[in-house]
Amino acid sequence: MYESEHWVSATVHGQNPTEIPMSERILIVDDDRDVLVAAKLLLKRHFAEVVTADEPEKILKLLASDSFDAILLDMNFSPAERSGREGLFWLGRILELDPDAVVVLITAHSAVDTAVEAMKLGAVDFVAKPWQNQKLIATLHAAVALRQSRREAARLRGQNRELAAHSSGPPSEILGDSPAMRTIFDVIAKAAPTDANVLITGENGTGKELVAKEIHRQSSRCDGVFMTIDLGAIAESLAPSELFGHKKGAFTGADDDRVGRFAAANGGTLFLDEIGNIPRQFQAKLLTALERREVVPVGSNVAVPIDVRIISATNLSRRELADETIFRQDLLYRLNTVELALPPLRERPGDIAILAEHFARHYAAKYGRPAVSLEPNALAALATYPWPGNVRALRHAVERAVILAETDVLTLSDFPRAPTGEATAAVGTTLAELEKSAIAQALRRHTGNISHAAKELGITRTSLYRRMEKYGL
C-alpha cells in the first residue's frame, strides 16, 4: 500500500534531506499500526522527533503536556467508518486545546470532499492514501513553517502589548485641540476602521508613527501585530530580504530561512517609515507585492500570500513625492488611498501648552519627582518658539528641564542652553529673548502697571521686578 522505504532518501525542494534542519516535532495519529510504522520510518529522517498514537483519545493527553509543530491526523478510526466525521470531531478537539495547532489530514481518495470541508474548519492541508513520499514530506515542511510563523506572530503580538504597557516614553496618545489636530482626529476616526492604505506626511518630529499606531489601535486589526520598519535605516541591498524574507543560502550570510516583515505582520499592520528613502529600483517590487498581495522571498520562486494593512510615512514634500525620478507615481497611488498631512508644531501654537504640561507630568512621574507645573510666562514663551524639531524637540526640552529643575515650577531659566542637543540649545538661546519680549509687551499693555502685568504673566510682583532688572526694562 505504501511506497518502499528507499524513497525515504528522496530530495525535498532540491535539498538533500540530511541538510534540512532537524528541529521539528511531528505527531501522527492513526489506528492502523502499519501506517504508523511506514510514516515514522519516512519522517524520522526529516524531522527531529516523530511521535505516534494509535488511538485518537491519546491526543488530549499528549497535547496537555507537549507541543507539536505539525499533527498528521487520520479521518477514520472505527473499522466500518468511511465518512471522515471522526476526523472532523478530533480536529475540533485539537483546535479547542490549541487554536494555533497545524493539522494535516490523512484521507482516502473517496473522502476528499470531507477533507476540503475540514480545511474550512481549520485543517491546513490533507494527503490522500496511498501517499507519495515527496508530497507528504513537502506538505509537512510547509505545515511546520506555518506553525513557526504563527508562533512568531503570537510572540510579536505579545511583544507589542508588552511594549505598549511598559514603554518608557510618553503615553501613546495624540494631544492637541487646535483646528488642524481636530481635522487629523476626524480623518483617523473615518479611515482607521477600513483597510485602506494610509500615507502620513509631515516634518520630522510631528508624530507620524504615533498617528500610525492610533490608526492601528482603532482598526479591526488592533489585536494583530503592529510592525515598524524604518526604510531609511536599512542598507539598499538588504531591503528585499527585510521586507520579503529570504531562503537559506540565498546569499552570503543567509544561514537560515528568514521571515520577512510582510509575512511576520500577517493579519496586522505594517508601518513603512521613511518610505521616501526606498531605493527607486526596489519600488517596482514593492508595488507588485501590494498589487498581488503576495511576496516572493529572496532565493525562492514560491509566492507567499500576505494579509497586511500598509501605513507609510515620509518627510518628503508633495513636490518631491510628485517627482517621478524620486518616487514612482503608481506606487504612490497604492500607498495614499488616504493621505494625512501632519502640521508642524509652529502651525498649532495653541497645542504647545497642552503638550508641555503633559510631558512635564509624564517625566516628573518617570524620574520620581513631585508634580511639576510650568509658569504661565514660560508657557507663553514656549508657544512663540518655532520649534524646528516639532513635538520631539519640545518633549526633549521639557524632559531636560524636569531633570535639572530645582523647584516644582518650571520657569524659563530651566530651559538654558544645553551642551548637546541642537533643539534644546536653540530653545535655550531664544527663550530668554522671548521672556524679555513677553514682559515688555505685558508692561506696555498695562501701561507700566506692575501688579496687572505680573498677574497676566503668572508671576509675583517681586519676580517681575527681578526679571525687569535682569533685562534692563
Hey, what amino acid is at 151?
R
Residue 157 falls within a domain, yes or no?
Answer: no
Task: Please say if the pLDDT value at position 317 is more than 50.
Answer: yes
Contact between residue 236 and residue 279 where contact means Cβ atoms under 8 Å apart: yes
The average pLDDT across 272-296 equals: 90
Q: How does pLDDT run across 165-212, given as a tens digit for each residue?
A: 444 444 457 899 999 999 999 999 999 999 999 999 999 889 999 999
| 197 and 338 within one domain | yes
Lowest mean pLDDT among 239-243, 320-324, 414-418, 459-463: 414-418
Give 367's contacts (C-beta < 8 A, 6+ positions apart): 402, 403
Q: How does pLDDT run across 347-361, given as a tens digit for each residue?
A: 999 999 999 999 999
Count of domains forming the chain: 3
| pLDDT score for 431 | 61
Band of residue 35 on the pLDDT scale cut at 50, 70, 90: confident
Task: Please say if the pLDDT value at position 428 is more than 60.
Answer: no
| 325 and 184 within one domain | yes
| 354 and 334 within one domain | no
φ, ψ of residue 15 to 5 degrees: the values are -110, 150
| 125 and 78 within one domain | yes
The average pLDDT across 87-112 equals: 82
Q: How does pLDDT run across 432-442, given as a tens digit for each residue?
A: 666 777 788 77
Write down which residue in 325, 343, 361 finishes a domain.
Answer: 343
CATH number at residue 219: 3.40.50.300
Residue 249 falls within a domain, yes or no?
Answer: yes
| pLDDT score for 116 | 74
Residue 264 falls within a domain, yes or no?
Answer: yes
Residue 204 falls within a domain, yes or no?
Answer: yes
| pLDDT score for 157 | 63
Of all residues in the chain, the percent with pLDDT exceeding 90 is 29
| 180 and 71 within one domain | no
| 186 and 97 within one domain | no
| pLDDT score for 109 | 59
- Closest C-alpha to 297, from 331, 271, 262, 252: 262
| 182 and 142 within one domain | no
| 60 and 117 within one domain | yes
| pLDDT score for 80 | 66
Task: Please say if the pLDDT value at position 251 is more than 90.
Answer: no
| pLDDT score for 126 | 85
| 357 and 337 within one domain | no
Q: Which residue has the higher pLDDT, 9 or 121?
A: 121
| pLDDT score for 352 | 94
Give 123's contacts (C-beta < 8 A, 6+ positions apart): 73, 91, 103, 104, 105, 115
CATH number at residue 443: 1.10.8.60
Task: Please say if the pLDDT value at position 27 is more than 50.
Answer: yes
What domain range includes position 131?
A: 5-150
Write down which residue in 291, 313, 343 finishes a domain.
Answer: 343
CATH number at residue 122: 3.40.50.2300
| 354 and 329 within one domain | no
Q: Which residue has the higher pLDDT, 14 or 334?
A: 334
- Closest C-alpha to 70, from 42, 94, 36: 94
Residue 160 falls within a domain, yes or no?
Answer: no
How far CA 2 is from CA of 130, 289, 454, in Å, comes to: 6, 41, 95
- Tell me if residue 312 falls in helix, strand or coil: strand
| pLDDT score for 343 | 95
Contact between residue 297 and residue 249 where contact means Cβ atoms under 8 Å apart: no
